[in-house]
Structure 1
């Protein structure tokens, strides 16, 4: 037992510890936000969620369990409790596994490097031995700083850089007293092999490798469907995102979807798509210059009309399973971001962006909401949690038994 009181301590948007009780309550909230299951009784489809512990991958896991009744495997890469607490994803995974058991869902979670063939072998073995040797769905939601190529051993590192020229943008920061400041930051352009390295990490190479790996072992069911989660975003952030190094990687991901879709259609009557999700506060998005300011302003414009990740992933599962028609754009993407990119919304955000300063930001953006959302990523600012009480931090990773 290692109970202690955990106070939120941060460096910018990065928190040093996570709160197990808050993470558990947050997962409970997400599960409760999912509408009633679309099917009743019987065994649900077998699904693999790669990147299951955070952001949209976590939402995909919980929405799949609660809405569709999936069973299967979640893969993520989290740190166990030690001198500090475990990572928030460690505690969220434990909480998700607990709810899955309570609802009779056979969901196994593996902690390891999803880029490695070792983890792919573990998944393949589990699918063969535990889940009848078939996989119906694969959701790919990986945001990582680096990737080791299993064939060559080369290590690639992704970067967030514009292409061609430096990029200067407004960004939102908070000083040591928590006061908001709007500053300008400049990011140097990509150089050398920055673009190729980023594509090697964040493009479609590993997604395709997963499909090939499992197909070679005859583990993909007839009608197998896979979706990789992506983002386009606003013109306000395009230079650093969609037109930058990450944008090239996302384009590679979408090209991979077309290749996989043709292949799966011919061999299994299946399909592959990318799902373009909308803006949210995630551990990945807060690292991108300008995104914090943009999301705060977006919330200021939309308020509760913003659709949370769990709501977006319910919509995606409904489309993938046929509960609703599959709604694709001209590029073959499932677009869950139409509410964000509505011209009236974008015009309103752009107007606020142009006048945002340290003096005006509290009037233009919903900073209380934004600050709470950042803290909730680590299990803080979750209603119903007593943060003055000691909490057990040594939470075990969920076992394989159900």
Structure 2
């Protein structure tokens, strides 16, 4: 037991503790925002990176609308009496409560999904409790990965390639959001390759191979990984940078998997899914993304800005054949048309051209962005009493 009042510990974007009640409240709010649906098959799904961002959105949507069964995997830290558990830990506990309340059938594993031991632990559970998998959703985001074959630890970096990057960014260190300038030196070839090893498709392919080795790939199996293209405004640090190289590798992996011996005999499919901009723990760490997203939110407003859950609803409709697949010329599923609409992007570019003046127009968007970052950790959530002591030592959901 660890009942105590918890205060946020924050500097700029960096928040080092989480609120269990607030984190749980964000999960339940998202659950209620997803349109429920009865009937249809109940596919077996393995979600890698289920505790945040698009992985969490895909999980909640699959559970509420399609009654999915299966296993979610994340790597989260528990409360230690001094520092709270991670927000993903608390969100997982909240999702497990919703599964139980709705009569669902889903288990959660806290493990390093990059490791051989983690894969074995997860696939043992899948084999014992669910059988062949219909969907593998790959949504892992991590700063480092240990290659299980060599033991080499690779570290990802967020850097441009070819030349240094200078751009405006949002600064939240003062009493109000302000525009600052950032400069990032160009990444080296070694840094690029390390980032590809962490965030590219190598581990995704290992998971598909591990499923195939244990005969856990169902007929008509589909696997997908999340990617992002984004605007020309952020391209130098994202799509044209080290992380973009990793995304290109991820997309190449999808094409290789689609024709691989593991998938071809069962009519399997492999896609990357190009999602739109969102405030996630991963995206908030990327320089200039905060300012760009604040401008984008200002241009679109509340009704037209599509949340990860909104996009996940659209994705599942396509995956389950209720809507046609929205494929581009590279075979990627596109969910980002609302963001990259030329009229929208033209208005964003106008704000970006004079960011100080743009921020005056987009102040509400900047405040919204920071409020969304805080909510990622369970802070600033409507209806939560932050003055009361709460139990911080929440147990991880028990697998069968």
Q: TM-score, with normalisation over the residues of structure 2? A: 0.97
Q: Is the 8 A contact 1:356 1:364 kept in 2?
A: no
Match for residue 259 of structure 1 among 249, 253, 256: 256
5 Å-filtered alignment, 1:3-402, equals: 3-37=3-37, 39-40=38-39, 44-82=42-80, 83-131=82-130, 133-177=131-175, 179-263=176-260, 266-304=264-302, 305-357=304-356, 361-365=359-363, 366-401=365-400
3-state SS of paired residue (1:193): helix
1:200-226 Cα offsets, whole Å, 9 max, x none, are 110000000000011011010000001
Tell me, in whole angstroms, the C-alpha distance in 1 between the residues paired with 2:174 and 2:4. 25
Runs of at least 4 residues of structure 1 off by over 3 A? none
More displaced stretch, 202-211 vs 321-330: 321-330
Tell me, in whole angstroms, the C-alpha distance in 2 between the residues paired with 1:339 and 1:111. 35
Tell me, in whole angstroms, the C-alpha distance in 2 between the residues paired with 1:262 and 1:194. 30
Q: TM-score, with normalisation over the residues of structure 1? A: 0.96
Tell me, in whole angstroms, the C-alpha distance in 1 between the residues paired with 2:324 and 2:194. 37
Instruction: Give the drift of 1:363.
Output: 2.2
3-state SS of paired residue (1:254): helix
1:16-75 Cα offsets, whole Å, 9 max, x none, are 2101001111000111111122x417x611100000101111111111111111110000
Instruction: Give the drift of 1:371.
Output: 1.7
Tell me, in whole angstroms, the C-alpha distance in 1 between the residues paired with 2:206 and 2:358. 48
Tell me, in whole angstroms, the C-alpha distance in 1 between the residues paired with 2:390 and 2:271. 42
Aligned length: 396
Tell me, in whole angstroms, the C-alpha distance in 2 between the residues paired with 1:125 and 1:175. 47
Instruction: Give the drift of 1:266.
Output: 2.0
1:279-319 Cα offsets, whole Å, 9 max, x none, are 01111111111000000111111111100001111111111
Tell me, in whole angstroms, the C-alpha distance in 2 between the residues paired with 1:167 and 1:176. 24
3-state SS of paired residue (2:114): coil
Tell me, in whole angstroms, the C-alpha distance in 2 between the residues paired with 1:352 and 1:26. 31
Tell me, in whole angstroms, the C-alpha distance in 1 between the residues paired with 2:120 and 2:214. 10
Instruction: Give the drift of 1:249.
Output: 0.6
